[in-house]
Structures are given as C-alpha cells and as structure tokens.
Amino acid sequence: MRLTLYFLLALLISLCPDTAFADRPNVILILTDDQGYGDLSCHGNPILKTPALDDLHGESLRFTDFHVNSFCTPSRASLMTGHYATRTGAYRTSSGRTFLHTDEVTMAEIFRDNGYATGIFGKWHLGDSYPHRPYDRGFEDVVWHKAGGVGQLSDFHGNDYFDDHYERNGELESFEGYCTDIWFEEALRFIKAQQEAGKPFFAYIPTNAPHSPFVVEDHYAAPYEDVATWRDGKAAKFFGMIANLDENVARLRQHLKTAGLADNTILIFMSDNGTAGGVGMDTDAVPSEGEGYNAGMRGRKASVYDGGHRVPFFLHWPGGGFDEGQDVDTLAAGYDVLPTLIDMCQLEDPDIPFDGTSLVPAVENPDDWPDRELVLQYQGGNGFTYAPEMWTDSAVLTEEWRLVDGDKLFRIKDDPSQSHNMAEDFPEVVKQLRSRYEGWWADVSPRMQPIPIHLGNKAEPGTLLTGLDWYMEPFGNPVTSTKRWTPGSNGPIFLEIETAGRYRFALTERHPAAEEPLRNVLARLEIGGQEFETRIEARALAAEFVVTLPEGPAKLIATFETANGETGGAYFVEASYLDAQ
C-alpha cells in the first residue's frame, strides 16, 4: 500500500510528539495564475514544453478531476480556508468582495499555530489593507505584490514585471529581476533559513504568472511565436511565462534535493482557474483548430464549464510514498487541500467544519470513497437572496454529471467537451442536482455581506483605498494604476473605525505616486453620515478633507463632478489617522 510510510510517520508522531516534531513534513504549495489544465506538455499540449513540470507530474500523486473556481480570488479563498468561497466573503476579484471574514481561519494560521514557519512569495489577492493582508492572516515572512496582478490599481505605481517594487513584511523594497524569478528566489531564501533553524516550514508560492499582461523576456516566448498565434499573437508570451515558471520549478526541486529536503517535503503544484491565454477568446467554447489546446474541454477562465475550473493538481512527497506517477480519478476541489494537509502533517485539529475533506482516504481506499455533489458559482453580481436568475453561471459537479446553469446536463466522462445536453433525458438527475444547489445557496448566501477595511489601527497608520474596494456591480471598474478618471463608476467602501478621532482623506484620480494634477472638478466626500465638498483648484494633486469620526462602522463614498455635471468615484483615497478626539 502506497500510504504505508505515511501511516508509519503518523504513528511515530502520535506516540512521540516531542521528538517527532522535527520530522513533520515541510510543505511547499505552488499556485500558478491562469494556467489551465491543458497548459502543460504532460497533459498533451502539442506546442508548449514544460520539462520540469512533466518530471514532477511523473513523480506525483495526481488528482485528474480536480476543481477550483473560475477565477482568482475565490479559488484562493477556498484554498486558504477549506471553505466554499461564497461562504468566506471573498467571492469576486474586485468590487469590495476580495476580503475574508475575520472569523475565517487560514492555512497559514493553522501551520503557524502548529510550530511551522510560514511564508508567502507572490500574489495574495485577498485584501491589500488591514486586517486582510497576508501578514494579518498568519504569514510571518511576506514578499508580495498588491491587487490581483502586478501593475493593477493598488499595486506600486510603475510596476511592470521587471525590477519592480514589492512589499517585504510591510516595507516597500526595490527588487532586481523578473517577478517570477523573484518569488522563487525569496522562497528559497526562506527555505534555507528554516533549514538552518531546524524548523518545519510552509512556503506558499502563488505566482502572478502567467496572468495578463503577458510579459516575459523575449527568449522565453521566441519558440512559440510562429505556432501560438491566437489572442493577436500574445499566446506566445503566455507560453513564454510558463516556460520561465517551469525553469523556476526545476531550480526549486534541485535545491530541495541538494539540501536533503526533498524526501520530507510535500510539494504541491496547482493552478487557480482555467487557462487565460492557452486558447482563444470565446469563454464558453471548445477551442477550434488553430485556437489552442484545452485537453478537449469546453470553456476557459471565467466559464462554469469544466475548462474554466478543472486544473492540474500534483502532490509529490517521497517520505509519504508519493514519488511515482499515480492517477486518482476521484472528484476533488481546492477546499480539500487544507483538510488533506492537516491530515498528512498530523496538525492539531482546528475544530473547523470544513466544506472540504481530507483526500487521504480517497487514495487509501478509492472504492469506498462516496460520490460527491460539489457546487461552483461564478458570482457576477451582488446576489444576496436566492432567485431563479442565480442559476446563471453555476455548476453542480458529480463524478458522472455536470449540471450547468440549472438546465444543461452533461455526462462528463462520455462528453468531456460538454456538447450534448441530456437534461430532457434525465429529469430526475436535474431535479436532484438543482436541489443540491438550492440547499447550498441557502447555506452560504447569508455570509455574502460587506466586509470592512479597518482604519485607526496601529498596524496600518495609513491606508490606500481604491476603486477595487468599491462595493458595487463589478462592471466598469478601473484596473491599472495608469488609467485616467472616467465618469459613471462609483460605489461605497465599507469601513470599521477602530479609534475615534480625526482622519485625513485625500481624493485623487490617479495613483498618488503619479503626481499628476487634478482637473478643475468638485470633490465630494460622504462618510459616517457627514458630507463635505470642495472645488479643486488647477494644479492641485489631491482634494483633502479632515473629518472627526467615532468608533464603529462607517460607509465612505468619494466622488468627483466635472463642470458639465459628469460624476464618478475617486479611484484613490488616502486615509490616515491624525490624532484622538
């Protein structure tokens, strides 16, 4: 039995917890961004070459029917908490819905509380402000970029993947080199330090690659320029980003072997959603000839068809008996990872009612593993209450079936392209899976409430609020830190004032670091039931207000109005605590 070594380790830890603590496995979790199931040569991609990931695939436990959400933040929320993303509060990539409820316990907190050193190197995308930053949620060694991508609204102004500024444990620092190289270099630094200290570690490497914009050194993209021509030729850069990532995986694995860490390290590789650049632009299509490869699946990133959320999942752990290729066809999901690691590492039971479950029994006794009914929701709007339209962009998954949008039924093993709707042939299956969805929605939807950013805590004296924090329908939000103000978009930002006193709010239309003057506009600030306005003089860099606020919840709306009456939100609001009342 392949789990023999795993259970011997578990027995040793249970009998001799003090002496065996140092032998607990280290954990390295690599999460790539927008790399789909088909974006690996070991999964049949006829163009892309991924030799290091192919080697890892050949030496790993592989869940072949593994699912996350259809886009970034929800997948990360589920991974970190073991819960459905909708339950956590972080179920969209913007619009004030990227924060975890503060009562959610993260993977990093559980490892930290069990004596592990914890580090994150790369993309977080679960909040840029207190109390939602990675070092507020259990990570002790942090090197990260803000927002959902390098160069986006709340990230450092001017970041472009090369020689950028990232935060190290709350302090801005200049780094030399390419972003993916930096994340792996910093992870290796952390790993070396923990080995010297004799401490087990949890290293989380969530890369921003190969998320758009597709930027990489030319020599990585050059082999694909004549063959990856879709997306206006940008697919070559997308593949080049994966080629660079593949090199970094090789470098990491070589270090683990040289340092003698490979046997006792659980190394996981996975992605956060379906491909963004490996196929053409049609979100719900099966790629046509010349439009890329998606392992025969329908859909890409942002789709609830399998191509949008079925991703690779490799687990390599020689010390646990997982060092040879082994496929497990059991239906599994991102929220199963945390319970599985708690089981494998024999961590103290956190007494959390996870939505996921440990996958160890599925490997040990696959014939006894029950069929599951999992729910996926692409949450496009506010959706606080159940309504028939909520069926849109939903999927209920079993090992045999996929129910999409509540009215399209596919037998997935026979029809991986999800081309033949069998809903009329199997009405009882449709009824059963619709019932599962309705029960799920009734369970998770009460948690879909605004989660505030906190002001007045000494952990963050100054906070940059952005258009990504507006609690609004997500369409039309600004993305990059260089975009000029446009009328129309706006929404409230929910706050929790921790310390009563005076606060300064500075409204701008560009990133504050851009230092471009405002136009001649009227600036308005509404907060805590108070309203203020001021006319911006030419050449002013910001509209400033000083407001006295009591402790407690507050709602902020910051607005600009042009001379011709056009209104829209201030993309940036710098908020800082001045003094007590």
Same domain flag for 182 and 97: yes
Q: Percentage of the chain with pLDDT > 70?
A: 91
Arithmetic mean of pLDDT, 396-419: 97
pLDDT at 171: 96
Q: d(Cα 299, Cα 460) in Å, to the nearest integer?
A: 41
Backbone angles phi, psi at 18, to 5 degrees: -75, -50
pLDDT at 308 exceeding the cut of 80:
yes
Least confident of 16-30, 55-69, 332-346, 418-432: 16-30
Q: d(Cα 286, Cα 297) in Å, to the nearest integer?
A: 6
Same domain flag for 219 and 258: yes
Q: Percentage of the chain with pLDDT > 90?
A: 82
Strand order in the sheet with 408-411: 374-377, 394-397, 401-404, 408-411
Q: How many domains does the chain have?
A: 3
For residue 495, list its beta bridge partners: 453, 554
Query: Mind listing the pLDDT tens digit for each residue in 52-65?
Result: 999 999 999 999 99
Tokens of 181: 């190289």
Least confident of 15-29, 226-240, 343-357, 443-457: 15-29
Same domain flag for 478 and 399: no
Query: Mind listing the pLDDT tens digit for each residue in 186-225?
Result: 999 999 999 999 999 999 999 999 999 999 999 999 999 9
Q: What is the three-state SS of 324-375?
A: CCEEEEEEEEHHHHHHHHHHHCCCCCCCCCCCCCCCHHHHHCHHHCCCCCEE
Tokens of 430: 């449709």
Would 395 be classed as within a structural domain?
yes
Query: 443, 467, 492 — which closes off a domain?
Result: 443
pLDDT at 12: 44
Neighbours of 257 (CB within 10 A): 11
Same domain flag for 290 and 397: no
How is residue 403 annotated by DSSP? E
Same domain flag for 148 and 169: yes
**131: cis peptide before it, omega within 30°?**
yes
Query: Shortest CA distance to 126 belongs to which of 97, 155, 154?
Result: 97
Higher pLDDT, 261 or 476: 261
Ramachandran assignment for 535, one of left (phi > 0), alpha (psi -120 to 50 degrees), beta (any other): beta
For residue 140, list its beta bridge partners: none
Would 448 be classed as within a structural domain?
no
Backbone angles phi, psi at 242, to 5 degrees: -70, -35
Arithmetic mean of pLDDT, 405-425: 97
Would 250 be classed as within a structural domain?
yes
Q: d(Cα 286, Cα 417) in Å, to the nearest integer?
A: 7
Query: 422, 443, 464 — which closes off a domain?
Result: 443
Same domain flag for 116 and 250: yes
Same domain flag for 411 and 539: no
Query: Mind listing the pLDDT tens digit for each residue in 108-147?
Result: 999 999 999 999 999 999 999 999 999 999 999 999 999 9
Range of the domain at 495: 453-579
Same domain flag for 380 and 362: no
Q: Which single residue is written with the structure tokens 């990504």?
A: 468
pLDDT at 3 exceeding the cut of 60:
no
Neighbours of 247 (CB within 10 A): 17
Query: Mind listing the pLDDT tens digit for each residue in 329-379?
Result: 999 999 999 999 999 999 998 999 999 999 999 999 988 899 999 999 987
Same domain flag for 428 and 520: no
Arithmetic mean of pLDDT, 511-535: 89
Query: Shortest CA distance to 470 belongs to which of 92, 97, 102, 147?
Result: 97
Query: Shortest CA distance to 406 belongs to which of 423, 381, 418?
Result: 423
Name the average pLDDT for the chain.
91
Query: 386, 414, 443 — which closes off a domain?
Result: 443
Ramachandran assignment for 409, one of left (phi > 0), alpha (psi -120 to 50 degrees), beta (any other): beta
pLDDT at 7: 46
User: What global pTM score does this model have?
Assistant: 0.94
The CATH number for 393's domain is 3.30.1120.10
The CATH number for 486's domain is 2.60.120.260
Q: d(Cα 306, Cα 70) in Å, to the nearest integer?
A: 9
Same domain flag for 130 and 272: yes
pLDDT at 301 exceeding the cut of 60:
yes
pLDDT at 17 exceeding the cut of 50:
no
Beta pairing class for 552-561 and 61-67: unpaired
How sure is the predictor about 482, in pLDDT bands with cuts at 50, 70 and 90?
Answer: low
Q: Which single residue is written with the structure tokens 């300064």?
A: 504
Q: Which secondary-structure segment (H or E) carries 544?
A: strand 543-549
Least confident of 41-50, 245-254, 504-513: 504-513
pLDDT at 481: 61
pLDDT at 486: 65
Would 314 be classed as within a structural domain?
yes
pLDDT at 473 exceeding the cut of 80:
no
For 61, the 3-state DSSP assignment is strand
Same domain flag for 360 and 380: no
> What distance lies between CA 414 and its chain's CA centroid?
31
Same domain flag for 177 and 254: yes
The CATH number for 290's domain is 3.40.720.10
Q: d(Cα 500, Cα 278) in Å, to the nearest integer?
A: 51
Q: Transcribe 93-125 into DSSP letters.
A: SSTT-----TTPPPHHHHHHHTT-EEEEEEE--
